[in-house]
Structure formats: structure tokens, C-alpha cells
């Protein structure tokens, strides 16, 4: 029915997505763009903290991020799971251990995302809910960099399964069997109340809600 929305065939779409959401958003954009070839798109990829600042300033038409905070004039629709897993190199000493307790892995070296990242916030909350602290040895602002550090044997990483689809499939990385993991988060489509949503943005919103999970390839 989106084809019938007047004016949605042309126009410009300004979206911002969380660093982690970029792993599937570009596939969605590619399919959207085949359906609406005359729509031009600007995509900004940044972390949760910066996304909230952009929403505050009414900048993007639409945002894809983790659950936004309540009561900031934001409208949000949850659309897809975002599981976080503990990743390791295939040679890691814990590789064959079953049902590890968080306390057992806590002593390991961890490579995690920077402060301000939604992934990082979720990790810290999870450890603290279990009465623990995640001692981070290495902080990185890129999921790619974390994957490289972990596969080089630096230590364990905690990332979204969206970011390691290929590495898990070709056995360059493995996930550890740790109680409470994968940690379940969800993706949300977020707009700022009071910002008029253009027909193009409305078409994209509908497309994401209906099609997004077709562009996710990790083993569900």
C-alpha cells in the first residue's frame, strides 16, 4: 500500500542508525532503493549517545537504535531482536565449556564498545544486575575492531550477533555458552514527536517494519 501514498516515490530520506544496526541497515536500504529508485538517502552511523543528541535537535527523519529512554518526546516502535553474545577466538581456553557462569568469565580480558554505545550500556547493566563489574581491558568504538582484536586472541568480546554473522559461519569466531547469553535487546524505529514525517520516511518506516527480518542472516 505504500506505493499509494502520494509523493513517496521521490524525495530525500535522512536516517541515523546505531553503529551496530549498520550491519543490516545497508541491506534494507539496498532493497528499499530498488523499490523506490528515485528516493535519495543520507545515512549517518553513530552511537546511541550521539543519536539521542540528534533526536533532541530534530535532525533525522527516522532512527534505528536500541530502546530509547522514556519521556524525551520520542516515539518508538520495536521491530526486531538484537541478541548480544560473548565471542572468542576458536582456540580460546573456554571454547568447549558448557553453561559457564558470568562470574567465571568475568576474570577474562574483555574488549568492549566505547562508553555512549547502547551495547556497552547493556553489558554494564547486565553485569551490575548480577552483582559484578565488567573489567574492560580494551575499549573500541568499532565492532569491526573488536572482532579483529578477539580473533587475534586478545580476549573475549561482547557484541551483537548482527555484527558477526560471517565470522561465526566460517568459524573465525565462536560464541561462548554463558548463562544469561545471548542477552536479549531489541531494535526500535524512533522518531521525534513534533517532527513532521515525510511520505518517503513513512514509506521507509513501513518497509522496515514489514521486511527487516528478511535481511538478517545469523543463525536464529
Q: 92 or 185, CB closer to ligand PGA? A: 185
Taking the complex as a whole, the smallest distance from the CB of residue 120 to ligand PGA amounts, in Å, to 6
Q: How many CB atoms lie within 10 A of CB 28?
A: 21
Taking the complex as a whole, the smallest distance from the CB of residue 143 to ligand PGA amounts, in Å, to 7
Q: 65 or 200, CB closer to ligand PGA? A: 65
Using CB under 6 A as the criterion, which residues of the chain lie in contact with ligand PGA when the complex forms? 18-20, 47-48, 65-66, 82, 113, 117-119, 185
- Tell me the torsion sign for CA atoms 102, 146, 140, 29: negative
Taking the complex as a whole, the smallest distance from the CB of residue 46 to ligand PGA amounts, in Å, to 8
Q: 104 or 141, CB closer to ligand PGA? A: 141
Q: How far apart are CA 206 and CA 8, in angstroms?
A: 12
Q: 185 or 192, CB closer to ligand PGA? A: 185
DSSP 8-state assignment for residue 178: B
CA 27-33-39 angle, 5° bins: 140
Instruction: Please check whether residue 18 is in contact with residue 47, taking contact to mean a CB–CB distance below 8 angstroms.
Output: yes
Taking the complex as a whole, the smallest distance from the CB of residue 144 to ligand PGA amounts, in Å, to 12
Taking the complex as a whole, the smallest distance from the CB of residue 65 to ligand PGA amounts, in Å, to 6
**C-alpha grid cell, residue 138:** 580494551
Q: Which residue's CB comes closest to ligand PGA?
A: 118
Q: 12 or 186, CB closer to ligand PGA? A: 186
Taking the complex as a whole, the smallest distance from the CB of residue 121 to ligand PGA amounts, in Å, to 7
**C-alpha grid cell, residue 113:** 564498545
Closest Cα partner for 181 from 117, 116, 144, 127? 127
Instruction: Please check whether residue 214 is in contact with residue 16, taking contact to mean a CB–CB distance below 8 angstroms.
Output: no
Q: How far apart are CA 19 and CA 65, in angstroms?
A: 9
Q: 10 or 128, CB closer to ligand PGA? A: 128
Amino acid at each position: 500500500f505504500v506505493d499509494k501514498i502520494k509523493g513517496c516515490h521521490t524525495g530525500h530520506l535522512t536516517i541515523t542508525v546505531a553503529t551496530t544496526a549498520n550491519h543490516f541497515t545497508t541491506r534494507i536500504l539496498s532493497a528499499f532503493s530498488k523499490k523506490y529508485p528515485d528516493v535519495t538517502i543520507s545515512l549517518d552511523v553513530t552511537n546511541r549517545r550521539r543519536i539521542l543528541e540528534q533526536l533532541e535537535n530534530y535532525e533525522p527523519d527516522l532512527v534505528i537504535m536500541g530502546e530509547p529512554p522514556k519521556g524525551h518526546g520520542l516515539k518508538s516502535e520495536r521491530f526486531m531482536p538484537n541478541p548480544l553474545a560473548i565471542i572468542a577466538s576458536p582456540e580460546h581456553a573456554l571454547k568447549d565449556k558448557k553453561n559457564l557462569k558470568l562470574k567465571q568469565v568475568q576474570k577474562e580480558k574483555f574488549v568492549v564498545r566505547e562508553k555512549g554505545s547502547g551495547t556497552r550500556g547493556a553489558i554494564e547493566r547486565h553485569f551490575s544486575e548480577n552483582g559484578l563489574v565488567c573489567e574492560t581491558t580494551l575499549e573500541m568504538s568499532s565492532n569491526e575492531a573488536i572482532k579483529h582484536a578477539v580473533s587475534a586472541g586478545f580476549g573475549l568480546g561482547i557484541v551483537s550477533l548482527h555484527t558477526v554473522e560471517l565470522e561465526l559461519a566460517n568459524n573465525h569466531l565462536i560464541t561462548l555458552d554463558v548463562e544469561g547469553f545471548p542477552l536479549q535487546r531489541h531494535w526500535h524505529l524512533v522518531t521525534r514527536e513534533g517532527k513532521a514525517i515525510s511520505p518517503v520516511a513513512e514509506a521507509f518506516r513501513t518497509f522496515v517494519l514489514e521486511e527487516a527480518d528478511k535481511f538478517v542472516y545469523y543463525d536464529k
